[in-house]
């Protein structure tokens, strides 16, 4: 997705230092271990100690990276929240629009799709959510809390409590579009069809605009 000239995006980030790169690598190893164990035994039957042992870290290291065992499997979704917050901090209130939010999500989706490891983890998480009620409930709760927090940030940016209904509409519309696009992409791949996540996301954004205009 090409970013419109009128939409401001955060400046390029400074490359992480060695300490941060090691932390990111540790988080990734823990996330991989959690996914493997959840696929084998289910999230309810898997303990933090088992995840830590499989990842080759201590339980205390696990909890420095993740608050819960469920978070460790769902970690790829944190990138969406982080980048949206950075975008909000970097732009004036007048630029906080649905189109702007969709562009930011679209940029993140393009990067995720370009990474085979992240693509694989997204697909595996989606499959787990369809078969693991405990993880699905945890994902729903985590997403709901993230949307509430993001709505609060957008409302503050737009002027406070009176702007909250509009802020919620922006946030939940953008999140819903992304969720539908990712689900559609995963379903097509699982059915053996070719699927381009970025293209599906663009089409889903068009569908939302068409629905709003009808």
Q: What confidence tens digit (pLDDT) does each residue in 140-189 have?
A: 998 899 899 999 999 999 998 899 999 999 999 999 999 999 999 999 99
**Nearest C-alpha neighbor of 62 from the set 49, 73, 75:** 49
160 plus 197 within the same structural domain? yes
Based on the domain organization, do 135 and 191 belong to the same domain? yes
Query: In terms of Cα–Cα distance, which of 150, 12, 156 is closest to 93?
Result: 156
Could you tell me the maximum CA-CA distance found in the chain, to the nearest angstrom?
55
- Residue 130 belongs to a domain: yes
Q: What percentage of the chain carries pLDDT values higher than 90?
A: 66
Same structural domain for residues 110 and 185?
yes
Query: Are residue 83 and residue 50 in the same domain, yes or no?
Result: no
Q: Domain holding 62: CATH number?
A: 1.10.10.60
In a domain, 11, yes or no: no
DSSP character string of 66-117? -SSHHHHHSGGGHHHHHHHHHHHHHS-GGG--HHHHHHHHHHHHHHHHT-HH
Give the model confidence (pLDDT) of 74-124 as tens digits.
876 666 677 788 888 999 999 999 999 999 889 888 888 888 888 888 899
Spatial separation of the C-alpha atoms in residues 200 and 127, rounded to whole Å: 19
Give the number of domains in the chain. Answer: 2
CATH number at residue 187: 1.10.357
Of the three residues 50, 67, 84, the one that is the final residue of a domain is 67
- Residue 212: count of CB within 10 angstroms of its CB: 9
Do 32 and 7 form a contact (C-beta atoms < 8 A)? Answer: no
Q: How many CB atoms lie within 10 A of CB 172?
A: 13
Mark whether 78 and 96 lie in a shared domain.
Answer: yes
If you count them, how many residues does the chain have? 214
Classify residue 7 by its DSSP letter.
Answer: S
pTM above 0.85, yes or no: no
Same domain? For 185 and 143 the reply is yes
101, 26: one domain: no
Cα–Cα distance, 178 to 79 (Å, whole number): 13
Query: Does residue 104 share a domain with residue 33?
Result: no
Say which DSSP state 4 is in: P
151, two tokens: 């709505």
Both 24 and 78 in one domain: the answer is no
| Tens of pLDDT, residues 111-141 | 888 888 888 888 999 999 989 999 999 999 9
Domain ranges, residue 138 = 74-213
Residue 7 lies in a domain: no
């Amino acid at each position: 997705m090409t970013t419109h000239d009128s939409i401001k995006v955060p400046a390029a980030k400074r490359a992480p230092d060695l300490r941060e790169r090691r932390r990111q690598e540790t988080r990734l190893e823990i996330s991989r271990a959690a996914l493997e164990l959840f696929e084998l035994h289910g999230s309810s039957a898997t303990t933090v100690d088992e995840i830590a042992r499989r990842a080759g870290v201590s339980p205390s290291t696990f909890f420095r990276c993740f608050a819960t065992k469920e978070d460790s499997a769902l970690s790829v979704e944190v990138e969406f929240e982080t980048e949206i917050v950075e975008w909000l901090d970097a732009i004036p209130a007048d630029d906080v629009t649905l189109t702007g939010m969709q562009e930011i999500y679209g940029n993140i989706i393009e990067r995720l799709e370009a990474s085979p490891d992240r693509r694989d983890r997204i697909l595996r998480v989606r499959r787990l959510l369809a078969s693991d009620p405990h993880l699905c409930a945890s994902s729903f709760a985590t997403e709901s809390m993230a949307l509430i927090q993001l709505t609060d940030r957008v409302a503050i940016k737009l002027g406070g409590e009176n702007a909250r209904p509009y802020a919620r509409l922006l946030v939940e519309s953008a999140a819903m579009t992304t969720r539908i696009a990712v689900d559609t992409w995963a379903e097509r791949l699982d059915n053996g069809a070719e699927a381009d996540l970025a293209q599906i996301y663009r089409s889903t954004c068009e569908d939302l605009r068409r629905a709003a205009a009808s």
